[in-house]
Chain A
Amino acid sequence: MVAMVNKPSGVNPPAIQVRGLSKSFGDRLVLRDLDLEVSQGSFLALFGANGAGKTTLLRILSGQARADAGSVMVAGCSLPKHATTVRRRIGVVSHRGLLYDDLTCLENLVFYGRLFSLSDPVAQARQTLQRLALDSHASQRVRTLSHGQQKRLAIARAILHRPVLLLLDEPEAGLDRDSVNLLEGLLKDWTAQGGTVVMTTHDQARGAAWAHRAVVLADGHIHEQDAVQVERRS
Chain B
Amino acid sequence: MTQFLGTVAVLVWKDLKLEFRSRDILVSVLVFGLLVALLFSFALKPSPGEGARLAPAILWVALAFSGTITVTRTFVREQEQGGLEGLLLTPASRDAIFLGKALTSFLFMLAVEAVLLPAFSALLAAPLLSAGIAVTAVLATLGFATLGTLFSAIAVQTRSREIMLPVLFFPIILPLLIGAVESSAHALSGGGFSRWLPLMGVFDALFLVLCPWAFGAIMEE
Contact = CB atoms under 8 A, between A and B. Distances in A.
Say if the two chains contact directly (CB < 8 Å): yes
Interface stretch (A13-21, A90-98, A201-209): A90-98
Contact of A114 (B10, B21, B83, B89): B10
A102 interface: yes
B18 A115 contact: no
B14 A100 contact: yes
Contacts of A157: 86
Nearest to B87: A115
B64 to A, nearest CB: 28
Contact of A116 (B11, B17, B82, B91): B91
A100 B82 CA distance: 8
A107 B92 CA distance: 18
Interface of A: 59, 62, 64-66, 80, 84-85, 87-88, 92, 94, 96-103, 107, 111-112, 114-117, 157
Interface in B165-221: 220-221
A85 B90 CA distance: 10
Classify the secondary structure of A's interface with B: loop
10 contacts: A59-B221, A64-B85, A64-B89, A65-B221, A84-B91, A96-B82, A98-B81, A112-B90, A115-B11, A117-B91
A98 B21 contact: no
Nearest to A95: B82
A97 B90 contact: no
Q: Give the 5 A-B CB pairs with smallest separation, nearest first.
A: A98-B86, A96-B82, A115-B90, A65-B221, A102-B21
A103 B13 CA distance: 12
B118 interface: no
A27 to B, nearest CB: 16
Interface residues of B, number: 24
A128 B142 CA distance: 39
Contacts of A111: 10, 14
A94 B92 CA distance: 19
B7 interface: yes
A94 B220 CA distance: 18
B14 to A, nearest CB: 5
Contacts of A80: 220
A65 B85 CA distance: 11
Nearest to A100: B81
A70 to B, nearest CB: 15
B157 interface: no
A62 B90 CA distance: 10
A101 B81 contact: yes
Contacts of A103: 14, 17-18
B22 interface: yes
Contacts of A64: 85, 88-89, 221
B3 A107 contact: no
Chain B CB within 10 Å — which of A84, A85, A92, A102 has the most?
Answer: A102
Contacts of B220: 66, 80
Contacts of A115: 7, 10-11, 87, 90-92
Contacts of B81: 98-101
Given A111-B10, A115-B91, 19 more contacts: A59-B221, A62-B89, A64-B89, A85-B91, A94-B85, A96-B82, A99-B81, A99-B86, A100-B14, A100-B18, A100-B81, A100-B83, A102-B17, A112-B86, A114-B6, A115-B10, A116-B90, A117-B6, A117-B91
Nearest to B77: A100
A85 B14 CA distance: 24
Nearest to B221: A65
Contacts of A98: 81-83, 85-86, 89
Contacts of B17: 102-103, 107
Given A64-B221, A111-B10, A117-B3, A102 B22 contact: yes
